Amino acid sequence: MARMKTTTSIHLFSLANTLIPGGVNSPVRAFRSVGGTPLFLERAKGSTVRDVDGNAFIDYVGSWGPMILGHAHPKVVAAIRASASRGTSYGAPTPGEVGLSRLIRKAFPSIEKVRLVSSGTEAAMSAVRLARGYSGKDKIIKFEGGYHGHADAMLVSAGSGALTFGLPDSPGVPREAAKHTLTAAFNDIASVKRLLERNRNQVAAVIVEPIPGNMGVVPPAPGFLAELRTLTKRHRALLIFDEVISGFRVAFGGAQELFGVVPDLTVLGKIIGGGLPVGAFGGRKEIMDALSPVGPVYQAGTLSGNPLAVAAGIATLTELSRKGAYRELNAKADYLAEGMAGAFSASGVPTYTNRVGSMGTTFFQKGPVTDYVSARRSDTKRYAKYFHGLLERGIYIAPSQFEAGFVSLAHTKRDMDRTIAAAKAVLATL
């Protein structure tokens, strides 16, 4: 195998490290858990990304979820161009915000009203504040390994980068900010029941990734989400579905459509911006109208509902609302999963794959992986070797065992056959 040329990435990374902590603007990009120098990407089209040294890769990171149509989709690029030619931000209401909000409400009937923000973190943080303000209660229940962005109250037994770095509770989060955040175990309804009973009438909300993607992908056990719904109703705690990953990913109406469980509030991000910064949170009118300027719960943002980001979001969701889009996306994911399963079983390397539609994770362990504790049993060293072996063969997967991988509508059979062949070759070296 000729070694890949990475001199420009290495040079840029050493420069970036003198300017930016860790040389990156989001920790998981630093390749810390897989080793080596992160590749500096400079262009992408469809299923392919290209780095500054001219290397091309079939991309299964997809910017951590947003690029469901593939990169630089012509309709998304055209929408951004047209919007930019009319200015980039006004700090005033725009028709696009109405358009995107209508698309979101059409996809998520539980969202009677929605507030647009600029990131998933902002959306989750605001939804938690709204739940507390609306209910008058302070405590929040989240799940070990669940990641809802990096707001103080959420960085308790968090997933994604925090899990990758083994930083269950980040420094800088004052005890006072974290003490109202209780953690349960995903797929363990008894752990939720215990917390609700021990904190009777004090829990404002339970926030959950209905299909966790931040400990790697862990599907909800049959009935778990429905039991969560029943329990939260009984204890008059709001149920918040963090669908930043699963929203418009596993179905047009996200996990709540797929599993038929209706939350009180929904958090969205990633896909709804088509790669530009958009987050959103929404739910029943009576809850949402507690938000300023209608109600007393304050929340604001200079670039909330930014015209360019909203234009990219509308173009993306319009494409996804096309008849057959999810059938086509899931058929691609099924094809890849079948080929990869064959490669893994033939290799004899212990792996366990969790997948829901076009989001999935292969854990380097024999499994099963049903929660945070079992996910942590994975052989992250072996994952790192697998990651680099694929990278050398032109396949770009998540630089962390505890993330989701994504298939897009742009991945072709040829891409996936190449991926399966590369995996077979790499597994033989592990």
Q: Please report how close the Cβ of residue 67 comes to ligand KE4 at its closest, in angstroms.
A: 13
Cα–Cα distance measured from residue 72 to residue 46, given in angstroms and rounded to the nearest whole number: 7
Residue nearest to ligand KE4 (CB): 120
Closest contact distance (angstroms) between CB of 30 and ligand KE4 is: 10
Give, in order, the Cα–Cα distances in Å from 136 to each of 169, 183, 204, 266, 336: 26, 20, 7, 19, 48
d(CA 301, CA 278): 11
Out of 51, 242, 371, 415, pick the active-site residue: 242
Quick check: is 323 catalytic?
Answer: no
CA 429 to CA 372: how far, in whole Å?
28
Task: Establish whether the linkage from the previous residue to 109 is cis, with ω within 30° of 0.
Answer: no
Catalytic choice (137, 139, 142, 270): 270
Instruction: Provide the binding-site residues for ligand KE4, judged by CB under 6 A.
Output: 26, 28, 64, 119-121, 124, 147-149, 160-161, 209, 213-214, 242, 244-245, 269, 279, 403
Check: CB of residue 239 under 8 Å from CB of residue 206. yes
Nearer to ligand KE4, 133 or 254 (CB): 254
Whole-Å CA distances, 274 to 62, 77, 170, 298, 323: 11, 10, 30, 27, 19
Task: Tell me the closest approach of the beta carbon of residue 242 to ligand KE4, in angstroms.
Answer: 5
> Which CB atom, from 13 or from 147, has the smaller least distance to ligand KE4?
147
Q: Is 415 designated active site? A: no
- Nearer of residues 384 and 426 to ligand KE4, judged by Cβ: 384
Spatial contact of 37 and 28, defined as CB atoms under 8 Å apart: no
Residue whose tokens read 């939804």? 127
Nearer to ligand KE4, 119 or 362 (CB): 119
CB of 282 to ligand KE4, least distance (A): 15
> What are the phi and psi torsion angles at 248 (to 5°)?
65, 5
Minimum Å gap between C-beta 199 and ligand KE4 is 24
Q: Which is nearer to ligand KE4, 266 or 422 (CB)?
A: 266
Q: Assess whether 352 carries a catalytic annotation.
A: no
Q: Which is nearer to ligand KE4, 70 or 273 (CB)?
A: 273
- Neighbouring-strand partners of residue 139: 203
Selecting among 134, 147, 352, 383, the annotated active-site residue is 147
Q: Could you tell me the smallest distance in angstroms from the CB atom of residue 161 to ligand KE4?
A: 5
**Which is nearer to ligand KE4, 225 or 420 (by Cβ)?**
225
Q: How far is the CB of 24 from ligand KE4 (least distance, A)?
A: 9
Please give the positions annotated as active site: 147, 242, 270
